[in-house]
């Protein structure tokens, strides 16, 4: 992954529609043709306030680099095309001071990613990494990526809405200190492991706090539909439908067998049916917001930790 994130720092500025693989986009740009077999990064955003319109075209890689990279920029819009076969499809992160260095300095904020298809990338489809805040990811498709369809690592106040996320290793991941994010009205299905996860282990040294998982349809993922497994608190899972997932529809694991005030998770009005094990499996101390429903799940208990 270090090689994936470091590739292509010294690219050449691009202007207007005269664009080639590896170029830096420093003004509003609309693609006029596909970019195929890019050997490193596809395109890099190099200024605040830029709109990159792929105009239905493809940015295609050879399994390395990042398809579209924006590190250290704000108020950027990226829309309307396909990014495929890179290490990471779209990467938003902090600016680095030197090639291969630790990400530091200026964060990427207030990006809007819309109507993008990210598919067949070696690792993640869309990655928001370290201090990448207040961005909107809406109406995108992430399919067949080797890592997560969308991953938010140590990122806050982002909106992930109305995306289609299918056939990846994980669907949506909020990890490493992700906080104050809204994941709403997404269709998340047939991912190899978890559909939507807030944390991956309750005893990991990270606190994922104040995230809302709301009104998503989470179907036929390999293990849990929705997993909350973090040392963080004030996470809310509300009005989701979890259906035909391999293990539990919703699994809340706060560690030490109990959620408690510091690890508060609230479950309200979720619908879990025909999952492999329980509809809802929650540690003691979870906040039962009421009106959760479960039926036809593999475990006749249907729900543990909340009333269904």
Q: pLDDT, tens digit, for every residue of 250-272?
A: 999 998 888 988 899 999 999 99
**Mean pLDDT for the stretch of residues 159-164:** 98
Contact 71, 91 (CB under 8 A): yes
pLDDT in tens, 269-294: 999 999 999 999 999 999 999 999 99
**Mean pLDDT for the stretch of residues 161-184:** 97
Give Dmax (Cα) for the chain. 62
Q: Between 16 and 160, whose confidence is greater?
A: 160
**CA 92/CA 74 separation, integer angstroms:** 10
Element (H, E) at 239: none
pLDDT in tens, 55-109: 999 999 999 999 999 999 999 999 999 999 999 999 999 876 445 545 455 778 9
Q: Give percent above pLDDT 70 in the chain.
A: 91
In the prediction, which pLDDT does 62 show?
A: 97
pLDDT in tens, 129-149: 987 999 999 999 999 999 999
For the stretch 201-204, contacts whose Cβ atoms lie closer than 8 Å and that sit 24 or more positions apart, written own/partner, are: 201/229, 202/229, 202/230, 202/231, 202/253, 202/254, 202/255, 202/256, 202/263, 203/231, 203/255, 204/230, 204/231
Q: Between 17 and 152, whose confidence is greater?
A: 152
pLDDT at 215 over 90: yes
**CA 218/CA 43 separation, integer angstroms:** 32
At 192, is the pLDDT very low, low, confident or very high (cuts 50, 70, 90)? very high
Q: Give percent above pLDDT 90 in the chain.
A: 84
CA distances in angstroms from 42 to 19, 63, 67, 141, 195, listed in the order given: 10, 11, 4, 19, 28
Residue boundaries of the structural domains of the chain:
1-168, 204-215+222-308
Question: Residue 90 contacts by C-beta under 8 Å, 6 or more apart in sequence?
Answer: 66, 67, 68, 69, 78, 83, 113, 116, 118, 125, 126, 127
In the prediction, which pLDDT does 204 show?
A: 85
For the chain, what is the mean pLDDT?
Answer: 92
CA distances in angstroms from 217 to 258, 278, 306, listed in the order given: 27, 17, 20
In the prediction, which pLDDT does 96 show?
A: 63
In the prediction, which pLDDT does 261 show?
A: 86
pLDDT at 1 over 50: no
25-61 residues labelled b (16+ CB within 10 A) or e (exposed): bbeebebeeebeebebbbbbbbbbebbbbbeebbbbb
């Amino acid at each position: 992954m270090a090689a994936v994130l470091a590739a292509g720092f010294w690219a050449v500025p691009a202007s207007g529609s005269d664009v080639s693989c590896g170029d830096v986009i420093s003004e509003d740009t609309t693609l006029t043709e596909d970019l195929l077999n890019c050997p490193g990064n596809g395109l890099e955003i190099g200024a605040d306030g830029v709109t990159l319109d792929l105009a239905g075209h493809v940015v295609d890689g050879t399994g390395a680099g990042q398809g579209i990279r924006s590190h250290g920029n704000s108020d950027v819009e990226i829309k309307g095309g396909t990014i495929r076969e890179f290490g990471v499809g779209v990467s938003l992160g902090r600016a680095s001071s030197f090639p291969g260095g630790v990400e530091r300095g200026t964060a990427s904020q207030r990006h809007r990613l819309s109507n993008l298809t990210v598919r067949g990338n070696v690792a993640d489809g869309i990655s928001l990494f370290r201090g990448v805040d207040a961005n909107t990811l809406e109406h995108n498709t992430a399919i067949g990526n080797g890592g997560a369809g969308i991953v938010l690592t140590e990122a806050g106040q982002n909106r992930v809405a109305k995306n289609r996320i299918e056939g990846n290793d994980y669907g949506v991941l909020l990890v490493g200190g992700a906080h104050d994010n809204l994941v709403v009205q997404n269709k998340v299905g047939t991912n190899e492991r978890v559909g939507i996860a807030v944390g991956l282990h309750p005893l990991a040294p990270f606190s994922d706090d104040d995230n809302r998982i709301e009104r998503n349809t989470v179907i036929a993922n390999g293990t849990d539909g929705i997993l909350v497994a973090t040392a963080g608190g004030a996470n809310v899972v509300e009005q989701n439908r979890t259906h035909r997932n391999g293990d539990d529809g919703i699994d809340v694991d706060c560690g030490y067998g109990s959620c408690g005030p510091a690890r508060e998770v609230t479950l309200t009005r979720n619908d879990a049916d025909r999952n492999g094990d329980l509809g809802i499996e929650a540690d003691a101390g979870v906040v039962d917001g009421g009106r959760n429903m479960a039926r036809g799940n593999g475990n006749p208990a249907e729900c543990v930790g909340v009333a269904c």
